[in-house]
Structure 1
Amino acid sequence: MKYYSAIDRFFNKFRKKGFLLYATLVIAATAYSFYSISNLPDVKELEQLKEQKRKKEQLKKSETDKKKEVKAEEEEEEQKDAETKKLKESESPSKKSSSLFVDEELSKDHSKIDNWSRRELHSYLSRHKIYPDLDTSLEDLIEQVKVIYYENKVAHFI
């Protein structure tokens, strides 16, 4: 006759319950997998669902493309209006010559700024004590840098 201590009896209780728990989980998982396999939809239905999804995606793409085209046209019109306003403004000859020189310099520098990475834009702005959010779009960062760069260039020529 074996002598079981209190600790042995304690572990044996959990060992029996653990086995039953494990066995029920395995049986339940097997039953669920059989049930799910037996209720799979037909292949034809899946193909129809895929076609419907494709059609919906194509409609969404065409709508977004139309919206983008409209926005692009509006932006082009705004740029043309801004250019015509700049041309209509009258300035004295000395200001025109200096502004032309500044504009030529800025156009060269703006093309460089457009090629800067996000890290370079953030470092330039931080040097001028401007700290934009990390979520700020690249276009907004470029515009901020161009404004600051323009202000610095104009300050040198004045």
Structure 2
Amino acid sequence: MELAEAKQKFIESWGKLGSEWGINRTMAQVHALLLITPEALTTEEIMEQLSISRGNANMTLRDLIGWGLVEKQLKPGERKEYFFADKDTWNIARQVAKERRKRELDPIIKILDELTKVKGDTKDPEYATFNKSVTDINKLAKNVDKTLETMLKAEENWFWGSVIKIFK
């Protein structure tokens, strides 16, 4: 397989994977392109390489910047904006975890905390089932949150070393 074909396959695969994770396919493809490109790219270069519109490219780049996965760079003497993705996979994983935590886990924990305070008759099977389910899910969510917090603070070698110890 030639490099150009391999790059295209990676971009397409990253796009499919991103959509499985609930991320826009184009967002994942732009991120993939920037991951495998050594130099920062302009919006026009991204549009050309991925065959996407300017509006789609601009919106996608804004989203990637919002996720903390892409940085905008300016080059002295040029008016064009350049975009660059961090290539460190540990940094990427931590940033995605941080954003997903903020967007998904934090809101559900807030709701579950509120729902665990619902009062009812513990002898009522409907209340007992509701209360147990909500309490158990809340406990799991908080354990996931603690794990994410550990990951976000940890260095890569320490984190994976700790995880491997758990599974031995």
TM-score by length of 1: 0.27
Tell which has more relative contact order, 1 or 2 (C-alpha 8 A, sep 6+).
1
> Going by fraction, where is helix more abundant, 1 or 2?
1
Q: TM-score, normalised by structure 2?
A: 0.26
Considering only CA atoms, is the larger Rg found in Structure 1 or Structure 2? 1
More strand by share: 2
